[in-house]
């Protein structure tokens, strides 16, 4: 899970909501085959929507009781869940973050789902999902979880900030015309920087560095054996060198390192930054500022102006392999992830993009932002974190720390990529 997603999804449920749901948070999975206990983290608003989903589900299935077991902090969630799985007290169904899913798959504690997904009772066939979103949840043709929803990392931009830097071209219009090139984007950032504004703000996690590589035409950083090979590819090295240079001169900014009181959200809504790389949840940020018409979105720039696959953050829903309520758990699981279920959870200003076909109207409702279709287009061709990285505990975080040294001018591009390759080999036991 990326840094910004953690901040938004792990703000912690408000005390009143957690208290109201506490009666549902027993010591693990259900004791009978008709009761499903499920667990997640989330904001107060999200947990309220989940509770509403439970109520609607139980109206459709009066023979099944559903209980939500919320955990306020994303930081505490997975360690608690692993302990529950070890002691056989885990929920029947549970969320898993995309930075943890590989570990949980390798633990052998997740139920294989392919045959259930392909069954007549399934509302979530494997082909219903966008394939790039499974990431490490898919292994050797088997599925151990499926994406709840998704958030493509788009480039939000502020028209007022661009105008203040004498930028007259609109990024989304350029993209529609196939003219949204890396050169044009970097020229805009240079103008923003020269005008005393921040060019672009990025969160330091896998989707930033790998989206940049992909957008600049570099091949996948991992080969089929799982080895990190970007350090041996000239296109990758050159792309990372350019990325590092933009951070080092202050044109690009690492959002994670901004001081309290002057964070990325604050800079963006006060028109002090041109671009902010985030997901659909940014709608809430700009709406709260009351000037949402100043903002729009565009895909990542490429050398030739044509779309390229870029990173899409997700979380996953899995079923406990030792659940005592397999049929009821799968019924809940498949309805929660179905097009109808995702529509229910995301409509009315939801903060994510569906991961399944048939629910796209929730993104286009309200016609905001003006180019909301970009979310869907980027999701359709996007990718989750690479499985060799997502399967190794803390590897993705450690790699981001190496990239941070580059961004701070403490390392060069080749040295950074070599260090990543060495780290991957070490942590993967090669």
Q: Is residue 201 a contact partner of residue 276, using CB atoms and an 8 Å limit?
A: yes
Q: Tell me, what's the pLDDT at 28?
A: 63
Q: Is 101 exposed, middle or buried (0-12, 13-18, 19+ CB in 10 A)?
A: buried
Q: Is residue 138 a contact partner of residue 347, using CB atoms and an 8 Å limit?
A: no
CA angle 368/371/373 to nearest 5° reads 95
Q: Tell me, what's the pLDDT at 366?
A: 86
Same fold, 3-151+314-381 and 154-310+392-427: yes
Q: Tell me, what's the pLDDT at 10?
A: 35
Q: Is residue 365 a contact partner of residue 377, using CB atoms and an 8 Å limit?
A: no
Domain ranges for the chain? 3-151+314-381, 154-310+392-427
Token code pair at residue 58: 């139980």
Write the CB contacts of 151 (distance below 8 Å, at least 6 apart in sequence).
5, 279, 280, 281, 312, 313, 314, 351, 352, 353
Q: Tell me, what's the pLDDT at 30?
A: 57
pLDDT in tens, 26-57: 446 656 899 999 999 988 888 899 999 999 99
pTM for the model stands at 0.91
Helix (H) or strand (E) holding 48: helix 44-60
d(CA 217, CA 220): 9
Q: Is residue 201 a contact partner of residue 1, using CB atoms and an 8 Å limit?
A: no
Write the CB contacts of 418 (distance below 8 Å, at least 6 apart in sequence).
231
Q: Is 415 exposed, middle or buried (0-12, 13-18, 19+ CB in 10 A)?
A: middle
Query: Which candidate, 263, 271, 281, 278, places its Cα nearest to that of 311?
Result: 278
Give me the DSSP letters along 178-239: T--BHHHHHHHHHHHHHTTSEEEEE-SSHHHHHHHHHHTTPPPSB-TTS-B-GGG-HHHHHH
Q: Is residue 179 a contact partner of residue 302, using CB atoms and an 8 Å limit?
A: no
Q: Tell me, what's the pLDDT at 1?
A: 39
pLDDT in tens, 191-220: 999 999 999 999 999 999 999 999 999 999
Fold type of domain 3-151+314-381: D-Maltodextrin-Binding Protein; domain 2 (3.40.190)
Q: Which residue has the tokens 């449920």?
A: 13
**DSSP helix/strand/coil, 31:** coil
CATH number corresponding to 154-310+392-427? 3.40.190.10
Residue 254: φ, ψ to 5°: -80, 110
Query: Which candidate, 380, 423, 302, 422, places its Cα nearest to that of 129?
Result: 380
d(CA 242, CA 301): 13
Q: Which residue has the tokens 């629910």?
A: 359
Q: Residues of the chain whose pLDDT is less than 70?
A: 1-31, 349-350, 430
Write the CB contacts of 406 (distance below 8 Å, at least 6 apart in sequence).
240, 243, 244, 247, 412, 413, 416
d(CA 384, CA 314): 7
Instruction: Give the bridge partners for 255, in sequence order.
Output: none
């Amino acid at each position: 899970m990326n840094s910004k997603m953690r901040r938004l999804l792990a703000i912690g449920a408000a005390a009143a909501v957690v208290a109201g749901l506490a009666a549902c948070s027993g010591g693990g999975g259900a004791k009978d085959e008709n009761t499903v206990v499920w667990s997640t983290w989330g904001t107060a608003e999200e947990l309220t929507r989940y509770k509403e989903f439970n109520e609607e589900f139980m109206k459709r299935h009066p023979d099944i009781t559903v209980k939500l077991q919320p955990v306020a902090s994303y930081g505490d969630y997975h360690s608690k869940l692993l302990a529950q799985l070890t002691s056989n007290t885990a929920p029947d169904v549970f969320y898993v973050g995309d930075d943890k899913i590989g570990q949980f798959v390798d633990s052998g504690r997740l139920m294989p789902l392919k045959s259930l997904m392909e069954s007549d009772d399934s509302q979530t066939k494997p082909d219903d999902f966008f394939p790039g979103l499974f990431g490490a949840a898919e292994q050797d043709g088997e599925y151990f979880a499926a994406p709840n929803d998704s958030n493509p990392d788009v480039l939000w931009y502020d028209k007022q900030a661009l105008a203040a830097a004498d930028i007259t071209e609109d990024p989304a219009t350029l993209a529609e015309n196939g003219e949204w090139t890396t050169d044009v984007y970097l020229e805009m950032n240079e103008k923003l920087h020269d005008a005393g504004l921040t060019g672009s703000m990025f969160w330091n996690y896998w989707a930033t560095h790998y989206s940049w590589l992909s957008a600049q035409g570099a091949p996948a950083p991992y080969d089929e054996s799982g080895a990190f090979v970007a350090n041996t590819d000239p296109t990758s090295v050159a792309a990372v060198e350019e990325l590092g240079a933009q951070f080092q001169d202050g044109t690009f900014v690492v959002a994670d390192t901004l001081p309290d009181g002057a964070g990325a959200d604050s800079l963006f809504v006060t028109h002090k930054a041109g671009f902010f790389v985030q997901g659909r949840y940014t709608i809430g940020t700009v709406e709260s500022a009351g000037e949402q018409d100043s903002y729009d979105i565009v895909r990542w720039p490429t050398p030739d102006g044509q779309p390229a696959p870029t990173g899409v953050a997700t979380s996953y829903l899995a079923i406990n392999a030792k659940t005592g309520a397999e049929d009821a758990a799968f019924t809940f699981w498949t309805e929660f992830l179905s097009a109808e279920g995702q529509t229910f959870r995301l409509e009315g200003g939801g903060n994510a993009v569906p991961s399944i076909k048939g629910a796209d109207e929730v993104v286009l409702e309200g016609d905001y932002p003006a180019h909301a279709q970009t979310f869907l287009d980027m999701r359709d061709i996007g990718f989750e974190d690479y499985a060799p990285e997502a399967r190794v505990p803390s590897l993705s975080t450690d790699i981001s720390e190496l990239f941070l040294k580059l961004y701070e001018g403490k390392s060069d591009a080749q040295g950074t990529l070599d260090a990543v390759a060495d780290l991957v080999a070490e942590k993967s036991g090669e």
